Amino acid sequence: MNTSTEQRNNPRNYSFSELRKICQHTSSNPAQEGFTGKVVRFFSIYITFAFLHTSISPNAITILSVFVFFSGMGTFFFGEHSLNILGGLLLIFSVLLDASDGEVARFRKTAGRLGSNYVEPVSHDIQYGISFIMLGAALALTSGDQLFFLLGGVASVATLLFRLFESRFWQYYHAGITKNDVEEIKQGYSSLPFYARLASWFRRRWYSSTGFALLTFLAACADKLEYILWFWAVGMCLFTAMLALKQFGRLYRESKAIE
């Protein structure tokens, strides 16, 4: 490796402003990124800077973020207010790690299909599939109310169904899509009806891993973790039903047009 390449690969040769341009320029659509996303990216670059001084891979960081996430979820089984707050903080830290894995990959120019198309989405599927069941079980065991088992299961199933419908629909209509096509679709977001943009804004801000971590931390501070289960179970059932109706309606209209 020549000297110029070594200099380019050394994070110490860049200011944090320059690192943000390198590591975060393709991380999200600026037109749709909310306040919470911007806050996460403000802090994640410092974690990324630390990781860039190690040989740890982006996929390993993703796995670490999942470990930290479930460590946070595990604290809720103790039923202690202080430990619940610690659990909420661990969830927030896992979100920072989740942002950092992509930033490390962009700096090292190692971003590829394995991480973006499999490791990261699967890690989120695992988190969504288990976290609400864990939270429901923790609340049921510490409060004695068995309803939380049901709420946890409903929240997990509704969230996974939403992700399944979304991914299947995308694959059906956008197989072989290019990056330019993706950008055009993102830009078309502004042409949607107001109610559709409002629903999308609300879901992406609060029914996301970042939203879950922040709201769970706030609920833990208020000692009201049960609000998270109600919020997620009811909300994701509504969003999943609306998405299914929208998709099935479009498919039905297209099938009738073909006939």
Domains of the chain, by residue range, sit at 3-258
Nearest to 44 by CA among 122, 107, 124: 107
Q: What is the mean pLDDT of residues 93-120?
A: 84
Please tell me whether residue 32 adopts helix, strand or coil conformation: coil
pLDDT surpasses 50 at 31: no
Q: What is the mean pLDDT of residues 128-150?
A: 95
DSSP letter at 28 equals S
Q: The pTM is what? A: 0.86
Torsion angle of the four alpha carbons 97, 99, 102, 105, in this order, in degrees rounded to the nearest 10 = -50
**Residue 169's pLDDT band (boundaries 50, 70, 90)?**
confident
- Torsion over CA: 35, 126, 151, 163 (sign): positive
Q: Long-range contacts for 254-257 (Cβ within 8 Å, ≥24 apart)?
A: none
What pLDDT digit, counting tens, does each position of 195-230 carry?
888 888 888 889 998 999 999 999 999 999 999 999
**Residue 25's pLDDT band (boundaries 50, 70, 90)?**
confident
- What's the full length of the chain, in residues? 259
Q: Which CATH class is domain 3-258?
A: mainly alpha
| Tokens encoding 245 | 């109706």
Q: Long-range contacts for 30-34 (Cβ within 8 Å, ≥24 apart)?
A: 31/186, 31/187, 31/189, 31/190, 32/186, 32/189, 32/201, 32/204, 34/201, 34/204, 34/205
pLDDT surpasses 60 at 64: yes
